Amino acid sequence: MRFAPLPAGLPASVPFVGPETLERQRGAPFAARLGANESAFGPSPLAARAMREAVGQVWKYGDAPSFDLTHALADHHRMSPANIMVGEGIDGLLGTLVRLMIAPGDAVVTSDGAYPTFNYHVAGFGGVLHKVPYRNDAEDPEALLDRAHATGARLIYLANPDNPMGSWHDGPVITAMLDRLPDDCLLVLDQAYAEFAPASAIPDIAADDPRVIRMRTFSKAYGLAGARIGYALGAPDLIAGFDRIRNHFGVNRLAQAGALAALADQGWLAHVVAEVATARDRIAAIGAANGLTALPSATNFVALDTHRGGAFARTLIAALAQHGVFARMPGVTPLDRCIRISCAPLHELDVFEDVLPRALSDLATR
């Protein structure tokens, strides 16, 4: 079978190997699922009920414009529905955005070690990635801007708070970036973890600002990762552009019902945010008891510094898996000295507390 030239030249790679695949490979389920930054605290009970009640209507396609959800989000964010595009999670929205904005050969700037699915989309549509290193375990706005000016970039990708390190910049740092963007360059601000962040990390950006598009999701704090639903906030002309190429029926009816109910249940969201804060402290304490140092985090995961290199961290991740704990780690030096542990209920963190010293002991005896 002959592929088209562009995909034919790409490696057969997967940005993330899922825990189910790893469980099949090891022949047993994980006792603690701490690697995918999902919310094991679950969705709002109101969202779960709404999705159950919608099952009988699943023979229908989802509402193409996600009208009810779009209007509810507009009320929530105090902006017009014209500023909002609902899509199949941030991953789906990033793919559509790159297709909308990037022609083969166009430059795109990101951080080396940042969210790899964005890079996957850029490569898939023929863009040219330019990467800058992290600075002090955080994405470096100055370096991103400098590289964008040097390359004539059309997109800059920045996650705030950041994945995989959990670091963040205060809002004024982000808004200052907008005034320094190259001409015809768009800032892609990934805010997947915004609900966990301090208020100071959320920039004050006008809904109609054409220089930035913000990505939000129901996968993290709202606990709907398996439903695949998120949304973009941007200027109306940019948002309207999505309709030219998006999969208009890509968001399913159950996800729409669940997201609408989840958004309305801000009490459950506050409960989850509090549980995550408690879990971050617990992960930090477990790490400290075993010689690992927690980096500050504004997300639902904690990066634990092993104080060793990437080879050691990779071996530790493998040892944790052998003992039934699914975890992940950053992919590039020097970030890869850390392992990344997702926040979870107490019983899963109990497993991690039991397994971590045994995994470290395994490494010490090799």
For residue 12, the model assigns a pLDDT of: 86
d(CA 198, CA 225): 22
Query: Which pLDDT score is estimated for 366?
Result: 67
Distance CA 41, CA 334 (A): 31
| 35 contacts 324 by C-beta, under 8 angstroms | no
What CA–CA distance (Å, rounded) separates 314 from 285? 21
Contact between 221 and 265 (Cβ < 8 Å): no
Return the CATH number of 45-265, one of 3.30.465.10, 1.20.120.80, 3.90.1150.10, 3.40.640.10.
Answer: 3.40.640.10
Please give the pLDDT value at position 297.
98
What residue segments make up the domains of the chain, in order of their start?
A: 5-42+267-364, 45-265
- Give yes or no for a cis peptide into 172 (omega within 30° of 0): no
Task: Write down the mean pLDDT value for the chain.
Answer: 97
Q: What tokens were used for 40?
A: 């094991």
Query: For the purposes of burial, counting CB atoms within 10 Å of the CB of 299, is it exposed (0-12), middle (13-18) or buried (19 or more)?
Result: buried
Counting residues of the chain whose pLDDT is more than 70, the rounded percentage is 100
Q: pTM (2 decimals)?
A: 0.97
221-275: per-residue pLDDT in tens? 999 999 999 999 999 999 999 999 999 999 999 999 999 999 999 999 999 999 9
Q: Which long-range contacts (CB under 8 A, 24 or more apart) does 130-138 make?
A: 134/165, 134/334, 134/335, 137/165, 137/167, 137/295, 137/303, 137/335, 138/162, 138/165, 138/167, 138/168, 138/169
Contact predicate 205/186, CB 8 Å:
no
Phi-psi region of 28 (alpha: psi -120 to 50; beta: other; left: phi over 0): beta
Q: How do residues 146-161 score in pLDDT, each as one tens digit? A: 999 999 999 999 999 9
Q: What is the pLDDT, as a whole number, of residue 303?
A: 98
Residue 297 parent element (H or E): none
Looking at domain 5-42+267-364, what is its CATH homologous superfamily?
Aspartate Aminotransferase, domain 1 (3.90.1150.10)
CB atoms within 10 A of CB 229: 30
Collapsing DSSP to helix, strand or coil, 356 comes out as helix
Which residues, listed in sequence order, are joined to residue 159 by a DSSP beta bridge? 190
Q: Do the Cβ atoms of 204 and 174 come closer than 8 Å?
A: no
Full pLDDT tens readout for the chain, 366 residues: 889 989 899 888 888 889 999 999 999 999 999 999 999 999 999 999 999 999 999 999 999 999 999 999 999 999 999 999 999 999 999 999 999 999 999 999 999 999 999 999 999 999 999 999 999 999 999 999 999 999 999 999 999 999 999 999 999 999 999 999 999 999 999 999 999 999 999 999 999 999 999 999 999 999 999 999 999 999 999 999 999 999 999 999 999 999 999 999 999 999 999 999 999 999 999 999 999 999 999 999 999 999 999 999 999 999 999 999 999 999 999 999 999 999 999 999 999 999 999 999 999 876
